[in-house]
């Protein structure tokens, strides 16, 4: 267990970052949001002009930014900034009818907030963590199939994961909902499936893949081009976000945790588990950070989940230096190295650490 000085200094980093949150963080977030809207409009223009690949990439980029905003605003990163519109508060963003404006997606915002913001962050690396990759892909790892075929199966899910996995997964944990599996995925007699198909998939599909193409056809006589680009954009968006999000907590050098007692989920043990169960990517400039949804600061985000995006870039060197000073493992590699390690876990070629290399018991 690291010394008391380590945790005192670590908490001081977070407290100092909270005290330095300002409207500059808000303006930074808004500029990113406007860039996302601009990317979509430019993608429509490229589709009309028959620049198919740029159009698909621009639309995919816009979809990524939409999820990025939902993630960081939903965590409450901008709640403490005075004098900004209340729609950027976590209690209001994408809630109710604003879902269609803020985050019109395959995933229900309330379900995402509970599954990710609460369950994943509270139980990182435990069996109660709904995003524990090694556990969720255990069926693939144990399948008696050649590794190349396993990788093709994983690629299919990477291209479609918001539909084939994440929407159902988040709904399955929402209070009052039933669990959705591949066996009952189409059974709309059950509540979660009705919500998924009728409230999420149907409106999203009709708007993005029917109404918008019809409007583009009406105005520019390019509905078919737009539809093709929009479908490719959806696949690219799924693949892009899968590569960024899934490897954050999977790899033979990361820990998963067993038999964590209730009193251990707070205090020093909590902070240490977030570091030992998470990995960063390369970071440090706006382009690199934005292209990775600011999830390249996964360690800092799990330590202090309610900070604005910009603050993670400011504190990352401090957290890393502190960990190195006290001998606490701090994993940081390129996203491609982390992807390779995640694939090795998913296909059963490697296993995560199931015992923690230091004592994390509560003092």
The series of mean pLDDT values per 10 residues for the chain, 363 residues long, is: 90 97 98 98 97 98 98 97 96 95 97 95 92 96 97 98 96 94 93 96 97 97 97 98 97 87 68 95 96 98 97 98 96 98 97 65 37
Residues 318 and 325: their CA atoms lie apart, in Å, by: 10
Structural domain span for residue 275: 4-346
Contact, 56 vs 43, CB < 8 A?
yes
The answer to whether position 362 is within a domain reads no
Structure tokens at 35: 């860039």
The answer to whether position 356 is within a domain reads no
Contacts of 253 (CB under 8 A, 6+ apart): 279, 329, 331, 341, 353
The answer to whether position 245 is within a domain reads yes
Contacts of 279 (CB under 8 A, 6+ apart): 247, 248, 249, 251, 253, 254, 298, 299, 331, 332, 333, 338
The answer to whether position 48 is within a domain reads yes
Contact, 60 vs 2, CB < 8 A?
no
Angle between helices 212-220 and 23-48 (to 10 degrees): 60
The answer to whether position 312 is within a domain reads yes
The answer to whether position 103 is within a domain reads yes
Contacts of 361 (CB under 8 A, 6+ apart): 1, 264, 269
- Looking at residue 264, what is its pLDDT? 59
Residues 116 and 130: their CA atoms lie apart, in Å, by: 8
Beta bridge partners of 332: 280
Residues 277 and 331: their CA atoms lie apart, in Å, by: 9
**Length of the chain in residues, anyone?**
363
Alpha helices in the chain (DSSP H): 4-19, 23-48, 52-74, 99-102, 109-112, 121-122, 133-136, 138-142, 147-161, 167-173, 191-194, 202-206, 212-220, 223-245, 268-276, 286-291, 298-303, 309-325, 335-346
- Looking at residue 266, what is its pLDDT? 64
| Torsion angles phi and psi, residue 121, rounded to 5 | -75, -30
Residues 21 and 315: their CA atoms lie apart, in Å, by: 12
The answer to whether position 359 is within a domain reads no
Query: What torsion, rounded to 10 degrees, do the Cα atoms 108, 164, 138, 269 define?
Result: -20
- Looking at residue 362, what is its pLDDT? 37
Task: Provide the number of structural domains found in the chain.
Answer: 1
Helix, strand or coil, per DSSP, at residue 353: strand
The answer to whether position 24 is within a domain reads yes
- Looking at residue 363, what is its pLDDT? 34
Contacts of 44 (CB under 8 A, 6+ apart): 55, 59, 216, 226
């Amino acid at each position: 267990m690291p010394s008391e000085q380590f945790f005192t200094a670590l908490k001081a980093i977070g407290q100092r970052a909270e005290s330095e949150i300002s409207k500059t963080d808000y303006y930074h977030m808004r500029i990113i949001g406007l860039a996302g809207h601009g990317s979509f409009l430019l993608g429509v223009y490229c589709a009309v002009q028959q620049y198919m690949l740029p159009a698909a990439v621009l639309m995919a980029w816009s979809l990524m930014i939409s999820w990025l905003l939902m993630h960081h605003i939903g965590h409450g990163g901008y709640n403490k900034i005075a004098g900004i519109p209340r729609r950027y508060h976590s209690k209001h963003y994408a809630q109710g009818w604003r879902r269609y404006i803020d985050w019109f997606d395959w995933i229900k915002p309330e379900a995402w907030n509970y599954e990710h913001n609460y369950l994943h962050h509270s139980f990182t690396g435990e069996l109660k963590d709904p995003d524990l990759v090694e556990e969720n892909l255990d069926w693939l790892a144990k399948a008696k199939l050649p590794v190349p075929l396993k990788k093709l199966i994983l690629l299919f899910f990477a291209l479609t994961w918001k539909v084939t996995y994440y929407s159902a997964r988040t709904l399955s944990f929402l209070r009052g909902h039933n669990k959705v599996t591949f066996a009952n995925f189409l059974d709309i007699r059950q509540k979660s499936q009705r919500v998924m198909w009728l409230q999420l998939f149907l409106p999203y599909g009709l708007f993005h893949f029917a109404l918008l193409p019809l409007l583009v056809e009406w105005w520019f006589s390019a509905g078919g081009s737009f539809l093709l680009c929009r479908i490719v954009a959806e696949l690219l968006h799924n693949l892009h976000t899968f590569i960024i999000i899934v490897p954050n907590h999977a790899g033979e050098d990361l820990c998963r945790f067993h038999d964590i007692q209730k009193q251990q989920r707070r205090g020093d043990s909590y902070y240490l588990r977030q570091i030992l169960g998470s990995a960063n990517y390369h970071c440090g400039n706006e382009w690199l950070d934005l292209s990775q949804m600011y999830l390249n600061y996964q360690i800092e985000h799990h330590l202090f989940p309610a900070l604005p995006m910009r603050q993670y870039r400011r504190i990352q060197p401090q957290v890393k230096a502190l960990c190195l000073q006290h001998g606490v493992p701090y994993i940081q590699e390129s996203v491609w190295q982390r992807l390779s390690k995640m694939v090795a876990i998913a296909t059963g070629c490697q296993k995560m650490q199931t015992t923690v290399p230091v004592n994390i018991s509560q003092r």
